[in-house]
Amino acid sequence: MALEKASVLALAALAVTISCGKKVESTAPLVGWHSEGTEDAPWAGDCYYPPDYQSMLDTDRKMARQKSLEAMKSQWLGQKNDGLEFDATAVDDLEIILLGRPDRIEEVSVKNLEYCQQYMTGTGSASSWEDWLRGLAASLTEGECNTPLDYQLIQYLDIQTSWQQPIPFCKGNRAEITATQSDRYRISEDSPWINADGDESMPSTSSEYPCNFQGCFAGQLIGRFVTFDGVETIFPIGTYLRYEAPEHGTFTWTINDTTYFDNEWHKEGAITDRTAITVTPID
Ligand SMILES: [Ca+2]
């Protein structure tokens, strides 16, 4: 049975080759709904052939994308009577993503044609086509940053814990980070009272400190940025820093210290200092 089918397909392929050789038909590529099935190897339905987007003018191109999306959607939803019907929720989710990224419709429609042709010729299944469709939502949004820094944040510094207060930044987001100058603390019983600028008489070049290069001081407010890919950068903040995120990632801060348990706030009478940190986005 399988052999018979294979030989029929081989004959069909041969027939196509011969007819192509004999007859010079229009070489214009197919655009729109078409079946390339033959009498011997019929297709269950049509596939949507997207146009050559790159050759189109801007407005036409936008309309062509829209048309392709509508065409694909009608087939995915089972409106073409070709035996195909994908999960409607997955189709809706994908449509929302594509409407927000219309340029991506082009590559999706080209790939979709491949899956359709495979399905119609029996070299691919409806389920592999649907699996691809379901995976598209994730691959189309991969690497995107949906959490830009578009709000001001004011938060007290905790001198007894390490990296704290994760703040998402998208690539290129810029912020001014300030720490109150009058609030003081010390990082051990026998060290001086300092503010977020740290102890400038104590450069922290030892690798025990999280910030251990030139410009880092003991007790200084420092920042850490970890990109989506896990690349970590540590840098001094002090009482003022302008920062621009090099990639999408997460910003945290702490003070530059090797032991956090022995740190204490300065007290005067009933008043205990407490450093406040303000992160203000810059346009
Ligand atoms: Ca300490």
3 domain residue, yes or no: no
Interval between CA 160 and ligand 1 midpoint (Å): 8
* 16 within domain boundaries: no
Spacing, Cα 186 to ligand 1 middle (Å): 8
Average pLDDT over residues 151-159: 97
Q: Let me know whether 276 and 173 are in one domain.
A: yes
Q: Could you tell me if 34 and 109 lie in one domain?
A: yes
Same domain, 111 and 137: yes
CA distances from 220 to 179, 197, 239 (A): 11, 5, 9
Q: For residue 29, what are its two tokens?
A: 């590529």
User: 134 alpha carbon to ligand 1 midpoint, in Å?
Assistant: 51
Instruction: Work out the average pLDDT over 142-164.
Output: 93
Say whether both 110 and 202 belong to one domain. no
189 C-alpha vs ligand 1 centroid, how far in Å? 8
Burial class (CB in 10 A: 0-12, 13-18, 19+), 218: buried
Task: Say how many Å lie between the CA of residue 140 and the centre of ligand 1.
Answer: 46
Distance 74 CA to ligand 1 centre (A): 65
**Pair (77, 184) in one structural domain:** no
Distances (CA, A) of 43 to 31, 132, 197, 216, 260: 17, 21, 73, 70, 71
Q: Does residue 17 sit within a domain?
A: no
- Examine residue 182 and state whether it is found in any structural domain, yes or no: yes
Tell whether 12 is covered by a domain: no
In a domain, residue 11? The reply is no
Residues 135 and 184 in one domain: no
Number of independent structural domains in the chain? 2
Range of the domain at 271: 153-282
3-state secondary structure of 173: coil
What is the b/e burial string over 72-102, where b = at least 16 CB atoms within 10 angstroms of the residue's CB? bbebbbeebebebebeeebbeebbebbeeee
Q: How far is the CA of 218 from the centre of ligand 1 (A)?
A: 9
Tens of pLDDT along 207-248?
A: 999 999 999 999 999 999 999 889 999 999 999 999 999 999
**How many angstroms separate the CA atoms of 61 and 147, rounded?**
31
73-129 tens-digit pLDDT: 999 999 999 999 999 999 999 999 999 999 999 999 999 999 999 999 999 999 999
In a domain, 15, yes or no: no
CB atoms within 10 A of CB 203: 17
Q: What is the value of pTM for the model shown?
A: 0.65
Query: What pLDDT is recorded for position 26?
Result: 61
Task: Report CA(191)–ligand 1 centroid distance (Å).
Answer: 9
Tell how far the Cα of 259 is from the centroid of ligand 1, in angstroms: 4
- Specify which residues 218 forms β-bridges with: 199
Q: Residue 34 Cα, ligand 1 centroid: separation in angstroms?
A: 73
pLDDT in tens, 12-41: 444 444 444 444 556 789 999 999 999 999
Q: Could you tell me if 182 and 224 lie in one domain?
A: yes
